[in-house]
Amino acid sequence: MISSSLYTKIQQTLQEQPKKRVLSFTWEEKKYFIKRRISNGRNTFAKQNTSAAFWCEAYKIMTVRQYAPLAPAIVLLTENYFVMESCGKTMQGVAKEAPWQEVRLHAFEKAGCSLALLHQAGLHHGRPALRDIAYDKENDTITFIDWENEKTFVSLDTKALDIFLFIHSCFREKWSVKDSSLIDAALKGYTSVQGSDQQIRNVKAFIHKHHLLFHVIHNLRRFGWKDVTAVDNARLYIDALTF
């Protein structure tokens, strides 16, 4: 049960920004996020409907928290919104921003290990992109955020798909073109968990099975589309892995 003063702060924040889907506020020197049960305006072909996404995310977060603190702590859940504790800096920021330079390799290795531990528990994220993984330098912890993604379009184990989407998200970043050391660190962390290398083999097998599809994607990269190029680069990277 939350304190009345925190609840009052939540209501005040909601009233100040009545149409915003994700809000943040600070209370007693601690940051929180509010997520409303309203549409994010994205195409529903690629996303679940608003209510399904909202309840799916809340359920997945609470399920994961039963196994390990790899999802945000929900301090308040209502029919129309839930409130989560802040979890640190996204890996997207860790990879690029100067204050994180000294801990980047460690943070990425820890992110890979944390994803493997999630998979070892029989769970998956759905889209562990860099913007959906947070690192807390003070506590040296990784937290996966934004758990509402659940639709898939390929016949691939959800855990293996997590890996592919993580690597794909890395190759959407400019730094990956010249230096794959952060991706290498994440894969090192992932495979440090016993048995996790099997999921890498599953991804490689999927790419081999659908080689014609990936060949088409390779030929499309000349158009310079960011996601297509990232898919092809992810394919090249995974093909080169020795597992």
Q: How far apart are CA 59 and CA 64, in angstroms?
A: 9
Give the pLDDT of residue 42: 56
CA dihedral 97, 126, 70, 201 (to 10 degrees): -90
Bridge pairing between strands 81-85 and 30-36: antiparallel
Give the pLDDT of residue 50: 87
Residue 43 has pLDDT above 60, yes or no: no
Provide the pLDDT confidence category of residue 148 given band limits of 50, 70 and 90. Answer: confident
- What the block records as the tokens of 124 is 């998956």
- What the block records as the tokens of 162 is 């997590």
Provide the pLDDT confidence category of residue 156 given band limits of 50, 70 and 90. Answer: confident
Q: What are the strands, taking DSSP E only, across 138-219? A: 141-144
pLDDT digits (tens, 9 = 90+) for 117-132: 999 999 999 999 999 9
Tell me the torsion sign for CA atoms 175, 240, 141, 138: negative
Mean pLDDT of 175-204: 96
- What the block records as the tokens of 202 is 């599953």
Provide the pLDDT confidence category of residue 64 given band limits of 50, 70 and 90. Answer: very high
Mean pLDDT value across the chain: 93
Provide the pLDDT confidence category of residue 190 given band limits of 50, 70 and 90. Answer: very high
Residue 45 has pLDDT above 50, yes or no: no
pLDDT digits (tens, 9 = 90+) for 22-41: 999 999 999 999 999 997 66
pLDDT digits (tens, 9 = 90+) for 220-237: 999 999 999 999 999 999
Cα angle: 239, vertex 241, 243; to 5 degrees: 115
Give the pLDDT of residue 41: 62
Instruction: Go through the domains of the chain in sequence order and give each one's CATH number.
Output: 4-85 (3.30.200), 89-240 (no CATH)
Provide the pLDDT confidence category of residue 91 given band limits of 50, 70 and 90. Answer: very high
